[in-house]
Structure 1
Amino acid sequence: MDGLVKELTIEMLPEGPYKQIAEAIGPENFYRLAEVVGGATIYIPKPESLTRPVRDAHIKAEFNGYNHPELARKYGVTERWVRQLCGPGQTEGQIELFELLEGMTGAGESGLSSTRFICKLHKTASKIRVEATLLLLFFAVKEAVNTWT
């Protein structure tokens, strides 16, 4: 049979998907495909389904914690998909609240007074999201209550 395969040409195949496949991969490779799955009903995935793991690996490798939108545009996926792959990341300029508290209250043995803490917190509030604003309000109220009592 192998000798007959070498004489098989694309023109000998019927019009339709078989001929299209043979044109794409060649008549000998089409014959090999028929040897593997001939007679079976199979599903052939779209090309993007085959390359999805490679795309996702590229997204993970290029993720820097802040570039969800850029990666989504570059790879034609949603920001939600990038977040699912890479996690929430950090908003640019955002620092961890506990890092801030540790850095501000750890200065010296007694730490910072509430007033100095509020001043320092106020200076960095533009870099911090709503959590810091709420914390600032909490300390201001605490300071006011302490002065009234």
Structure 2
Amino acid sequence: MELTEELIAEVNCEELPHPYRKMAELIGVAATLELAKHFGGTYEYMPKFDKAIGPARDRIICKEFDGTNYKDLARKYNLSETYIRSLTRPKEEGEQLEIEI
């Protein structure tokens, strides 16, 4: 076992600085320390969960769309019917699907 692995194995959540504690509870101490190695000392913005999954969610909605189920999809994904309609609207030739990232 190399020194770094030995040190990581010795660290527990309570010893971590406050911002890392919740993260360590969620993903483990080793993964938290790996993130600290890469991003420690920087200010990285982490978008909200909905923003991160948006493109994948929108692809699934388009696959599930049957031409009439606007309301069902809106309820299922907690989105407005207007958003579902704009997402599933037939695209003009040359027009690209706009997915907010």
Q: TM-score w.r.t. structure 2 length? A: 0.77
- Give how far 1:75 is off: 0.8
Q: How many residues align?
A: 87
Matches within 5 A, 1:17-56: 17-56=19-58
Matches within 5 A, 1:122-133: none
* Contiguous gaps of at least 5 residues in structure 2: 91-101
Matches within 5 A, 1:70-85: 70-85=72-87
* Contiguous gaps of at least 5 residues in structure 1: 89-149
Higher RCO (CA 8 Å, separation ≥ 6 residues)? 2
What is the identity, as a one-letter code, of the residue corresponding to 1:54?
A
What is the identity, as a one-letter code, of the residue corresponding to 2:21?
K
CA distance in 2, matches of 1:18, 1:39: 12
- What fraction of aligned residue pairs are identical, expressed as a percent? 40
- Give how far 1:11 is off: 1.6
Matched, 1:86 2:91: no
Structure holding more helix per residue: 1
Which has the higher Rg, Structure 1 or Structure 2?
1
Question: Per-residue CA shift, 1:47-74, capped at 9, x if unaligned?
Answer: 2222212211111001111111111111
- Give how far 1:17 is off: 2.8
- Give how far 1:40 is off: 0.6
Q: TM-score w.r.t. structure 1 length? A: 0.54
What is the identity, as a one-letter code, of the residue corresponding to 2:77?
Y
What is the identity, as a one-letter code, of the residue corresponding to 2:19?
P
CA distance in 1, matches of 2:8, 2:26: 17
Question: Per-residue CA shift, 1:3-28, capped at 9, x if unaligned?
Answer: 212211112123x3321111111111
Stretches (4+) displaced over 2 A = none
